[in-house]
Amino acid sequence: EPEVTQTPSHQVTQMGQEVILRCVPISNHLYFYWYRQILGQKVEFLVSFYNNEISEKSEIFDDQFSVERPDGSNFTLKIRSTKLEDSAMYFCASILPPFDTQYFGPGTRLTVL
Amino acid sequence: SQQGEEDPQALSIQEGENATMNCSYKTSINNLQWYRQNSGRGLVHLILIRSNEREKHSGRLRVTLDTSKKSSSLLITASRAADTASYFCATPSGGGADGLTFGKGTHLIIQP
Which residues are bridge partners to A98 per DSSP? Answer: none
State whether residue A18 is helix, strand or coil.
coil
Mean predicted confidence (pLDDT) in B43-66: 96
Mean predicted confidence (pLDDT) in A60-86: 94
Q: State the nearest Cα–Cα gap between B111 and chain A, in angstroms.
A: 22
Q: How confident is the model at residue B4 (pLDDT cuts 50, 70, 90)?
A: low
Mean predicted confidence (pLDDT) in A85-112: 93
Q: Does the pLDDT at position A9 exceed 50?
A: yes
What is the pLDDT at residue B1? 33
Q: What are phi and psi of A86, to 5 degrees?
A: -80, -10
Q: Is A86 exposed, middle or buried (0-12, 13-18, 19+ CB in 10 A)?
A: buried
CA A109/CA A91 separation, integer angstroms:
9
Task: Tell me what the pLDDT averaged over chain A comes to.
Answer: 94
Quick one: which of A83, A84, A82, A69 has its CA closest to A33? A69
State whether residue B61 is helix, strand or coil.
strand
Q: For residue range A53-72, list pLDDT tens digits in order.
A: 999 999 999 999 999 998 87
Q: How confident is the model at residue A10 (pLDDT cuts 50, 70, 90)?
A: very high
In terms of DSSP bridges, do strands A108-112 and A10-13 run parallel, antiparallel, or are they unpaired? parallel
Write the DSSP assignment of B64-95 as a string of letters: EEETTTTEEEEEE-S--GGG-EEEEEEEESSS
Q: Does the pLDDT at position B3 exceed 60?
A: no
Percent of all residues in chain B with a pLDDT value above 90, rounded to a whole number: 72
Q: For residue range B5-49, list pLDDT tens digits in order.
A: 777 889 999 999 999 999 999 888 889 999 999 987 889 999 999
What is the pLDDT at residue B2? 39
**How many CB atoms neighbour CB B7 within 10 A?**
14
State the best of B50, B100, B104 to mutate against chain A, taking most chain A CBs within 10 Å: B100
CB-CB: which of A47, A58, A91 is closest to B43?
A: A91
Quick one: which of B60, B33, B68 has its CA closest to B48? B33
Say if the Cβ atoms of A42 and B99 lie within 8 Å: no
Q: Does the pLDDT at position A28 exceed 80?
A: yes
What is the pLDDT at residue B79? 96
What is the pLDDT at residue B75? 97
Say if the Cβ atoms of A45 and B48 lie within 8 Å: no
